[in-house]
Amino acid sequence: MARAVLFTDPKESLEVVTFATPEPADEELLVRVTCCTLCRSDLHTHSGRRTEPTPTVLGHEIVGRIAAFGKLAARVDYRGTPAEIGSRITWAVAVGCGQCFFCANDLPQKCEHPYKYGHRRTDRTSPNGGGLADHIVLHPRTAWFVLPDALSDRIAAPANCATATAAAVIRYAGPLAGRSVLVLGAGVLGVTACAMAHEAGARVVMVSDPAVGNRERAKAFAAGMAFAADSEELAASVAQATQQHGADVVLELAGTAETARNALALARTGGVVVLAGTVAPTTPLTLDPENIVRRMLTIRGVHNYHPRDLEAALAFLAGPGQAYPFAELVGAEFPLEEVAAAFTHAHGHPGIRAAVIP
């Protein structure tokens, strides 16, 4: 028998249900979950700020070991690395159909008919699709990766969300060598972006966050300057740090209307703004198109990521990322039966992941 945590409504308790351990069919893989960390989007759903089809099994930052291969399942990962029963893996959150317009245009993360882990409606008899469970069945076409032994579960679990998203943000930001980079939001995603920007050759990495603890932690991830989030104070600090020009690149990773507004205001003329934090409803912004035109801004939105970004994220963590304290971004660990306590802890400790260990 297997267990999974069923989420129905923010007003109802999380329920641990039991069901027969599934058998993988054809191209599927059965994975025994060893760690699932709670992402901010999980917290948004749990609190009611974000709506998902229910009932559902939450959790998409997952590490596990292959328990069984379907009879047609590949025995190599996305990169061609051989795998076997017991191999430790992680995988991309979103799975494209491979046939729609967006998949054909190399945007499988925006597939018209996606399969997205931790964001699917399920049922009580065979709950599957989220990491808050003993086992999970991987959908065909999932881009999965064998993990190197050097990466602990605590470091690898957030890789298939925060680290991979940061890799996508850095990719869309363009060349960073010699540039000034401002990161708005110093949660897990923000500090990861700080480290990646530094390793990409940024001249200076600046970060802003309302929490003193988050700002201090960002310094361990190569943030050379850390500013409070007050808009006027932040604008003055960035102006001073950039000889009044503004930042070459601004990464909005906090997810509020104010930080999105600041991102547009604090980029220099000819600068690049990447918006990735606002994945839940927020107050709309008033946009002055003349201002955007005259300042020659490039604005990019990033949602989800391409499997190549997860590949890059894992390579970063196993390489230059070893110089940074990524393990410290995951705090308390909870068994599956104490998942309610894990959510309570995660809500009370922003910027740090809580881990559920089945």
Task: In whole angstroms, give the CA distance from residue 275 to residue 254.
Answer: 9
Q: How far apart are CA 348 and CA 254, in angstroms?
A: 17
Q: What is the pTM of this model?
A: 0.94
pLDDT at 322: 97
pLDDT reported for residue 49: 84
Tell me the average confidence (pLDDT) per consecutive run of 10 residues in the chain, 358 residues long. 94 91 96 96 90 93 98 97 98 96 96 95 91 97 96 96 97 98 96 98 97 95 95 94 97 95 97 92 90 97 96 98 96 96 94 94
Other C-beta atoms lying within 10 Å of the C-beta of residue 342: 26
Predicted pLDDT of residue 350: 86
pLDDT number for residue 24: 97
At 168 the pLDDT is: 98
